[in-house]
Amino acid sequence: MDSMMMDMMSKDMMSMPDMATMDMSVLQACMDACSACEQACTVCSTQLMSCAPACMNCADMCNTMMRAMMRMQGMSPAVLMSMLDACIAMCQLCMDECMEHADHSEVCKMCAQSCQACMDACMAVKDMMMKTA
Amino acid sequence: MDSMMMDMMSKDMMSMPDMATMDMSVLQACMDACSACEQACTVCSTQLMSCAPACMNCADMCNTMMRAMMRMQGMSPAVLMSMLDACIAMCQLCMDECMEHADHSEVCKMCAQSCQACMDACMAVKDMMMKTA
Amino acid sequence: MDSMMMDMMSKDMMSMPDMATMDMSVLQACMDACSACEQACTVCSTQLMSCAPACMNCADMCNTMMRAMMRMQGMSPAVLMSMLDACIAMCQLCMDECMEHADHSEVCKMCAQSCQACMDACMAVKDMMMKTA
Amino acid sequence: MDSMMMDMMSKDMMSMPDMATMDMSVLQACMDACSACEQACTVCSTQLMSCAPACMNCADMCNTMMRAMMRMQGMSPAVLMSMLDACIAMCQLCMDECMEHADHSEVCKMCAQSCQACMDACMAVKDMMMKTA
């Protein structure tokens, strides 16, 4: 994500009482991980292996997660937490499905790694929120 | 949703051990409510009132929820449950935001009703899953 | 689509000089056909047959088309025309791919029919626009 | 976009007769520009200025465009061309709307720049396709 865009989002967040204490760099890392995961899942789904439906679900969930973090004006900490849980659960399932083919398919291996990275980034947002709450 | 499509999805679900016992009519009602809520939120967001960012978030979450229920091959009961919780939380927030304008805006009133209906339909799926689990 | 929502969109359109002459029932039929096509394509893609990537592309294009018609405040006749052409081209390709399996797969047959209906509905919008231009 | 993922997509494209001659670096630049434009438009739409509906439309079109280029197995040169035209038209409209506020809003200025970059990248894909056709 562009640093100028991040600066602007940061200023917006400052004016939201519930969100003001969030560390923007943690959010930025999460949005970037969601975007990368959506892309990896989209490519992986075209292989038409058994993981494909999970990849399609994960691509949509990651895009919805990323956009929600870009529209914090229409979020609350509780909804954000609930969506992060759903995104983590979806990434875990997609990773598990892709790991079954990771030995034969480089794309599945890459997709599983993107899912793991997205889960980690979502958990980092959760950790930050629980510390500052 | 088309009844022929529903019959086909029903046959697919029968072959998924985790999903076999689900009542398709409850799922169908939920997918239809998600679709209606996505549409109401999309229209409501064009009013550019303070609820708009919540409406945009809710439209995306409802579409992701609907698609996930159409791709149960890439879901598990645990992920479905987590996504339903996120969708319910998002619809609740959007409804609360729109209710603040419901007296002045018929669109906000309609959007709030769609959010309520979507929440109810998601909760009905959760209830069904907990009974059959 | 809900008739109350359609009435509200109709009132909004009246205030847009470029869009004021459009017949809302033609637009409504198109939005409904886009929604039905997105759903059919989403289900069809889970079969993991060779049509699946086209179905995924078509589902996304139909959703984007439907939403754009719900947000005419952010459209112009020229952009709408260009998007309708893209949606028609995508539906045609998806229909062709699904027709190759229509004898063996009821889902592909249904998906092809939804694509045909969506193309027809998009063309009806184009025809209306050219008549009123 | 990840270079490993790009290598894999490149190998897939080689096996598609219609797509084999495409320069992957031009496609990669276009997918990255679509992703950046979706993000800028999503942020810009939260300002609830008059450009917001165009920004929402543009965000969806850019995401659909990016995903379609990641799923070339479900595309044809003609459909790709038609979708590029729609994406260019949508970015142009969004840029025009945002430019009206570019003096007062840094976010609109950034969004307009992302739209311009996305248009340029889409036109570069069109140019490449016309040269190799």
pLDDT in tens, C76-105: 999 999 999 999 999 999 999 999 999 999
Whether the pLDDT of residue B52 is over 70: the answer is: yes
Of B75, B89, B94, the CB nearest to A78: B89
Find the mean pLDDT for residues C41-52.
97
CA distance, residue D128 to nearest chain B CA (Å): 34
- Chain B partners of D56 at a C-beta cutoff of 8 Å? 45-46, 56
Assigned token pair, A1: 């994500």
**Window 32-51 of B, Cβ < 8 Å to D:** 45-46, 48-50
Contacts of C89 (CB under 8 A, 6+ apart): D78, D79, D82, D83
**Which residue type sits at A116?**
Q
Q: What distance, in Å, lies between the first and last C-alpha atoms of chain D?
A: 26
Whether the pLDDT of residue A58 is over 70: the answer is: yes
Cα–Cα distance between A107 and A52 in angstroms, integer? 12
Is D74 an interface residue toward A (CB < 8 Å)?
Answer: yes
pLDDT, residue D1, reads: 65
Instruction: List the subunits that have 3+ CB pairs under 8 angstroms with D.
Output: A, B, C
Higher local confidence (pLDDT), B49 or A20: B49
At B1, the pLDDT band (50, 70, 90 cuts) reads low
Cα–Cα distance between A107 and A90 in angstroms, integer? 18
At B12, the pLDDT band (50, 70, 90 cuts) reads confident
Is C66 an interface residue toward D (CB < 8 Å)?
Answer: no
pLDDT, residue D58, reads: 98
Find the mean pLDDT for residues A102-118.
96
Kindly give the parts of chain D with pLDDT less than 50: none
**Which residue type sits at C84?**
L
Do the Cβ atoms of B2 and C36 come within 8 Å? yes
Assigned token pair, D64: 């659909």
Whether the pLDDT of residue C108 is over 70: the answer is: yes
CA distance, residue B65 to nearest chain A CA (Å): 8
3-state helix, strand, coil in chain A (%, to 5): 80, 0, 20
CATH architecture, range C23-132: Up-down Bundle (1.20)
Q: Please check whether the domain covering B21-132 is classified as CATH 3.40.50.20.
A: no
Whether the pLDDT of residue C20 is over 70: the answer is: yes
Tens of pLDDT along C53-76? 999 999 999 999 999 999 999 999
Residue B79, SS3? Answer: helix
Find the mean pLDDT for residues A113-124.
98
* Average pLDDT, rounded, for chain B: 94
pLDDT, residue B19, reads: 81
Closest-CA residue to D90 (of C65, C32, B57, B60): C65
Residue B48 C-alpha from the chain's centroid: 23
Percent of chain A at pLDDT > 70 equals 98
- Provide the CATH topology of domain D24-132: Substrate Binding Domain Of Dnak; Chain:A; Domain 2 (1.20.1270)
Find the mean pLDDT for residues B44-49.
97
Tens of pLDDT along B65-118? 999 999 999 999 999 999 999 999 999 999 999 999 999 999 999 999 999 999
Q: Is the CA virtual torsion B14, B20, B26, B32 positive or negative?
A: negative
Phi, psi of C20, rounded to the nearest 5 degrees = -60, -30
Cα–Cα distance between A88 and D115 in angstroms, integer? 32
Neighbours of C104 (CB within 10 A): 10
The continuous run of DSSP H or E covering D54 comes out as helix D52-70
- Chain A partners of C46 at a C-beta cutoff of 8 Å? 52-53, 56
- As for the ipTM of the complex, it is 0.95
Closest-CA residue to A91 (of A27, A44, A28): A44
Q: Mutating which of A34, A79, A126 best tests the B interface, going by the most B Cβ atoms within 10 A?
A: A79
CB hemisphere CA count around C86 (13 angstroms): 32
Do the Cβ atoms of A61 and B83 come within 8 Å? yes
At A1, the pLDDT band (50, 70, 90 cuts) reads low
At A6, the pLDDT band (50, 70, 90 cuts) reads confident
Which residue of A lies nearest to D1 if distances are taken between CA atoms? Answer: A36
Whether the pLDDT of residue B45 is over 70: the answer is: yes
* Average pLDDT, rounded, for chain D: 94
Q: Answer yes or no: are the C-beta atoms of A108 and A101 closer than 8 Å.
A: yes
Closest-CA residue to D29 (of D122, D94, D112, D128): D122
Cα angle B90, B94, B99; round to 5: 150
Residue B46 C-alpha from the chain's centroid: 21
Do the Cβ atoms of C39 and B35 come within 8 Å? yes
pLDDT, residue D132, reads: 80
CA distance, residue C34 to nearest chain B CA (Å): 12
Assigned token pair, A85: 């849980």
Q: What are the residue boundaries of the structural domains of chain A, listed by start? A: 24-132
* Average pLDDT, rounded, for chain C: 94
- Chain A partners of B9 at a C-beta cutoff of 8 Å? none
Which residue of A lies nearest to B52 if distances are taken between CA atoms? Answer: A74
For residue B131, what are the CA distances in angstroms to A27, B65, B75, B83, B127? 38, 21, 19, 18, 6
Do the Cβ atoms of D56 and B45 come within 8 Å? yes
Percent of chain C at pLDDT > 70 equals 98
Find the mean pLDDT for residues B3-31.
85
Contacts of C47 (CB under 8 A, 6+ apart): C105, C107, C108
Tens of pLDDT along A14-27? 888 788 788 999 99
